Amino acid sequence: MRPETLALIEAGTAAKGDVIGVARIAAIQAAKRTADLIPLAHPLALTRVAAEFTPDARGPSLSLSVTVETVGRTGVEMEALTAVAVGLLTVYDMCKAVDRGMRIESIRLVEKAGGKSGRFVNREG
């Protein structure tokens, strides 16, 4: 994104309001609604969804990391990935009037524990 766009987001002065706050809620809602959005995904009882935004003026960029937990015997990768996608799409939607050139890139699973396949750590970041 452009430096001015990141500055608006960090200052909380975007025309549509608190971009980070709204995008965090969107990410949490998306995690909870994954089964409605992804064909063949099944609904899960989530015990925790946390969405953490990190601004980086060097990029300039805004990163989103989502942690999802459940006590069930299944993974929650799709919930986390869906949450990241929707959270970042919300940032785009709220800021597109000032910066249509923003890009969403590098959505990936970083780490997973539990479920049938056990632990996974993405060594590439």
Note the pLDDT tens digit of each residue in 68-125: 999 977 889 999 999 999 999 999 999 999 999 999 999 999 999 887 788 889 998 6
What's the domain count of the chain?
1
Going from the C-alpha of 57 to that of each of 5, 6, 11, the distances in angstroms are 10, 7, 13
**125 lies in some domain:** no
Q: What is the pLDDT of residue 74?
A: 82
Residues annotated as catalytic (active site), given as ranges: 93
Look at the block and give the residue holding tokens 């993405």: 122
pLDDT in tens, 43-60: 999 999 999 999 999 999
37: containing domain: 3-119
Q: What is the CATH number of the domain that holds 63?
A: 3.30.70.640
**82 lies in some domain:** yes
Can you tell me the mean pLDDT for 8-21? Answer: 96
**13 lies in some domain:** yes
- Is the CB of residue 107 less than 8 Å from the CB of residue 70? no
**62 lies in some domain:** yes
Higher pLDDT among residues 67 and 117, named by residue: 67
**87 lies in some domain:** yes
